[in-house]
Amino acid sequence: MGAFPERLSAALDQRKREGLFRHRLTLESAQGPVIRLAGREYLNFCSNDYLGLAAHPKVTEALRSAALEYGVGSGASHLVCGHSAPHHQLEEALAEFTGRPRALLFSSGYMANTGILTTLLQRGDHVFQDRLNHASLLDGGLHSGARFQRFLHNDVSSLEAKLTTADGPKLVVVDGVFSMDGDTAPLADIAALCTAQDAWLMVDDAHGFGVLGQRGVGSTEVAGLDDAAVPVLMATLGKALGTAGAFVAGSELLIEGLVQQARNYIYTTALPPAVAAASLESLRLLQEESWRRVYLAGLIARFRRGAEQLDLPLMASASAIQPLLVGDARRATSLSEKLREKGLLIGAIRPPTVPAGTSRLRITLSAAHSEEQVDRLLDQLARCWLEV
């Protein structure tokens, strides 16, 4: 068979035996609270479209109009001839919204995180990351060549013990909202510790941006932290804004340093200008329609009250991510399949995405959901939980 086919085959067989084999879903509709798969409609509770903007008519029209003016592809990297007016306008709007001097677009969150970390860090530096950080943050830290340490989840004392023994440049990296647990980092305490220890703080707010805070800036707004406390703020555009791509916001020095040195920015084709235009419209809606965040918060509270009454083992989370802890990977898959039979789409999250023994259903709520849809979710969860 050959070494590579044999290795791949063995790995796939093992995943199937352990209930870890993954399947792609092919949607036949726009993203929304109800989607269509293989001709059947499902209530969708596994999307990150937190504000319901992914198929908003005004966002769609902004993309269409920009595509007519700028075409579909950007044609080149930002530093060649791929940087168009919509890119520039979006960067300026994101900088103003987050209260930072500048912002820089990346083609994806993974590219942003790995690009930021491999640019900032050098051999001999120290990088400290929460144990539950997103894979892109972990990969960026490992690939940077810096001395890499992980501290206990949301444990400021664990971080402090590691910071105090390190000499030289120090960077602390955390998720604002953790993507699989839905809980929030203690950013105010971490920022204070970083200041005391002369360390920089980077926050990946992919799941907080647009959702948390009075203005929707995210977890840093809730914690009351400015750009001095959080010099590196990263967030994605494909979740609350409903489009695609990512950005980093910070000082003039940080952003220009990334423009000149970040390989993930320099050596890749820029996002389509139409996507940037659509993102700009989403950002405008985020700011003008605060009811979306208020309504979503009400849905989250309604769901958690119902789950508590049904004795469903939800993990502690005040975000749109509501994990239902199952434990066993096969049981989580079985529960997901039972719910799909009932017309509800919820993904089973299993190792290696989460630690062994903590498989779960990752339930996500959106401002596009109705209260009746959330009540149906609770009813079917209760029924299927007993069956599995």
DSSP code per residue over 176-209: SB-TTT--B--HHHHHHHHHHTT-EEEEE-TTTT
Q: Would you name the residues annotated as active-site residues?
A: 179, 207, 239
Pair of tokens at residue 295 = 């309504």
Return d(Cα 276, Cα 344) in angstroms, integer: 32
Q: What is the dihedral of CA 247, 295, 339, 355, to 10 degrees?
A: 40
At residue 276's C-alpha, the angle toward residues 271 and 278, to 5°, is: 130
Return d(Cα 347, Cα 328) in angstroms, integer: 14
Beta strands in 205-319 (DSSP E): 232-236, 246-250
Q: Which residues contact 132 (CB under 8 A, 6 or more apart)?
A: 153, 175, 178, 180, 181
Instruction: Check: CB of residue 266 under 8 Å from CB of residue 77.
Output: yes
